[in-house]
Amino acid sequence: MSDPLNNSYYAATANAWKTQPAYTGEGGFDVAVIGGGFTGLSAALACAEKGLQVALFEAQTIGFGASGRNGGQLIPGLRWSMREIDAEFGRERAKAIFDLAYGAVERVKDRIATHGIKCDLKAGHLEAAYKPDHFDAMQRDSEFLATQFGWESNIVQPQDMRRHIDGGGYHGGIYDPQGGHFHPLNYALGLAQAAKAAGVAIFENSSVSADAIDTRAVILATDTWMNDQDRALGRHTIPIMNYNVATASLPDADRLFPSDAAVADSRFVLNYFRLSADKRLLFGGGEKYVQTPPADIAAFVRKHIVEVFPTLADTPIEYAWGGPVGVTMNRLPHIGRKGNVFFAHGFSGHGALVTTLAGELLAEAVTGTMERFDVFANLPHRPFPGGRLFARPLATLGLLYYALKDRL
């Protein structure tokens, strides 16, 4: 199926991949994985490494969803700061969450190195303070991470921001050298190649349902399409539409991004941007709470670019695309099991690293090792209120409130 939202830079620069055949009813698998994004691919690969016979089913093509379209920003941790997690859950649980969420950085880097995945991996991530009080909070979070959990990052004073970015007028930031950025679709394709080499049977253009597959276990990794598999699980997320563009290559790219770090600002409706390997500006800006895309995605995003980089007002935009991100009520990932069905979704725009780890936790759970899986499975969650008819409108009202606070 063609997708009008997938005129992406990533698709245009994807590594070679031979489309896999559609499912025709083959059997004999121990585990069925539904969803060909980071979570599903990681789970399938990890299951195969444990000696299981695995089939992965993707309704479209590998990396079709958010895994192949996202901003490529590798941001350690979760949407909650460790200071918030520690206050909410106590030190013992916070330490277990930290070990997994921040350990996901090395899991992704290890997969890239082990399998020789060519995905333009670069080091460095900068969180930029949109308001002075945001910077105050960032400094407290950074100091707490360092003193209580040993995770070191660098506080960047407002006058030093040009070491990383020439634009935006930001009020300081936090630079994390352990974060970074990459080409997400090529990472997904690399995981697929590794899974295939490990013996996973991959079926593309194959829409299947969990209750129609006769296997020992099923892993659901469909994120914003979870409702197609399980309506009760689907009520735990709503889709938020994000839009991205890629400009032509910038002659002054190194001046704009001296450290070549990925950047995300601290607004609720954030801007996030970075340089590609060929010196294009990759920029995501704004959100829409309806699924109908703007008539002109490039124009929709350009106004956000100009706020940060006024000199790029007339720079050609060569690719523009978008897609949904699954967001939970509390913006923590929703991971768990229902009988022999295991699931993970709702990474809330913070999943480029944690999804790889989540897939491995699902594989552990399938084989009966629950300790690390339960750290995430025991996070509190509830579905969006309002049922099928009213969940999205009610959630939209809440999101619009927080978006309004960005402007105040």
pTM, rounded to two decimals: 0.94
Interhelix angle 91-115/354-366, nearest 10 degrees: 100
Task: Please state, rounded to an integer, the average pLDDT across all residues of the chain.
Answer: 93
Q: CB within 8 A of 298, min separation 6: which ones? A: 245, 317, 320
* Residue 48: both structure tokens together: 């195969």
pLDDT of residue 292: 80
Per-residue pLDDT of 219-249, as tens digits, reads 999 999 999 999 999 999 999 889 999 999 9
The pLDDT, as a whole number, for residue 78 is 97
- Domain topology for 6-13+27-397: FAD/NAD(P)-binding domain (3.50.50)
Question: Which residue blocks in 27-173 are alpha helix, DSSP H?
Answer: 38-49, 82-89, 91-115, 132-149
Q: What is the DSSP string of 170-189?
A: ---EEEEEEEEE--HHHHHH
Structural domain boundaries of the chain?
6-13+27-397
Question: What pLDDT is attached to residue 390?
Answer: 47
Half-sphere exposure of 226 (CA within 13 A, CB side): 31
Q: What are phi and psi of 172, to 5 degrees?
A: 100, 180
Task: Give the count of beta carbons closer than 10 Å to the beta carbon of residue 86.
Answer: 21
pLDDT tens string 31-79: 999 999 999 999 999 999 999 999 999 999 999 999 999 999 999 999 9
At residue 400, the pLDDT reads 46
In this prediction, residue 293 carries a pLDDT of 85
> What percent helix, strand, coil does the chain show, rounded to 5?
40, 20, 40
Residues of the chain with pLDDT under 50: 1-2, 389-390, 397, 400-404
Predicted pLDDT at 1: 40
Give the model's pLDDT for residue 269. Answer: 80
Spatial distance between the Cα atoms of 162 and 169, rounded to a whole number of angstroms: 10
pLDDT tens per residue across span 363-403: 999 999 999 999 999 999 999 886 554 455 555 545 543 44
